[in-house]
Amino acid sequence: MSSPTERGSPPRPEQRRRHVPGPPFGSPRSSGELRASLTSIRDTFSNRHHSLDFAYSHAHYLRNRVLAVGVIFLLLTPLWALVDAMMLPRELWGTTLIGRGLLLAGLLGVLLLARASREHIGRIRLSAGFLLALPAAFYALVLILLPNGDASRLAGYAFIPFLLVAALSVFPFTILESLAAGLALLWLLAFAQMVDGSWLTPAGFEGLWLLTSLLVVSLAANHFQLSLLMRVYRQATHDPLTGLLNRGALSLHLEKLQAWRREEQSSGSLPPCAVLMMDIDHFKKINDTHGHSVGDLILAEFARVLLAQTRNDDCVARYGGEEFVILLLNTPGDRAAEVAERIRRAVEAHHFPDHNHLRVPVTASIGVASLQGDEAPEQALERADAALYGAKEAGRNRVMRADSPTPSALA
């Protein structure tokens, strides 16, 4: 019996992240891991356990924050130049104007990068990093270019590290990302104190303590903000009973799949993909015999069987009631039929317990359809549904292909 990883090997995600995300949908397993504790430190500490789906939602949210804060920084920069002109000596104007001009150009670049990075996670993260790094670099540049002893004459510059640490709480960064940025800003404050002579003085210690306290508050805000974002994302895209993607999320994934295949086709290749639609046989009878609570247990257990028999890059969704859909990437029709047959056997052999831990016999009927040419995945889904109906008409507990000249049953 082949393992889930022995089927078609999809291209690596970084190879497909052009305009359309690749793989076109994320991992149900990663989402399942989040279900155990949406507000845990592990899930907000880094993005290691985040599914690709959530990564794109997270990046879209981050992009909106970058655009909003970037516009604010862009508007404040020329106003700040007026403050410099009123408060700084004339001999310092040239130094600050050079830094101010570079900062303004950099902020414009960040806004253009963020605006053009709708589907590019890496670029959105890069633009967020630049948005915070540019004011810090501007401050460091001014400190380096200023003549000795003139740092104390700068008006309103010392608050830049504090402003940027406070700004960390506005963005849905992971704790690890904010901590790295916060440590860099602590170093910037220490450098500024060495330049102005307050390093290792009571005033200097007070500044470092204040910045550290603000960093702790920002880290807490990142944790709560990202936890809330995860919870909202999961409620909107996942079935609460099984933890699988819901029908609305499946529709979005079908659109992503079509766009991804069109892009791959334009580059000279059309990856084979397949749709499996399955139904738990005689589920109404199970509910009538054992009760709806046992039926819910079976649905949740059935979902776990499906996850165990598929890859991380495959999409597993609850279509409605006792119907489920699996989208198989880079999988030709023959291999998809083998996968469906393996799932059918796994369901038939699995121990589905009732409340007394007694086995409830469960079988499944499965319809298989391969995407033909550049057809829409929705059309393949309709053909898989028709094949599923044929499998049930033929006696249930079997796999039926819709893409063969004469639909065949595998049992």
Close Cβ partners of 360 (under 8 Å, ≥ 6 residues apart): 286, 290, 294, 298, 352, 353, 354
- Closest by Cα among 222, 216, 343 to 277: 343
- Closest by Cα among 323, 256, 333, 223 to 26: 256
- Closest by Cα among 228, 204, 184, 210 to 61: 228
Q: Identity (one letter) of the amino acid at 305?
A: V
- Closest by Cα among 352, 276, 339 to 308: 339
Q: Which residues are part of the catalytic machinery?
A: 322
Q: Work out whether strand 399-401 and strand 323-328 pair parallel, antiparallel, or are unpaired.
A: unpaired
For the four alpha carbons of 373, 377, 378 and 382, in that order, the dihedral sign comes to positive
- Three-state SS string across 56-84, please? HHHHHHHHHHHHHHHHHHHHHHHHHHHHH
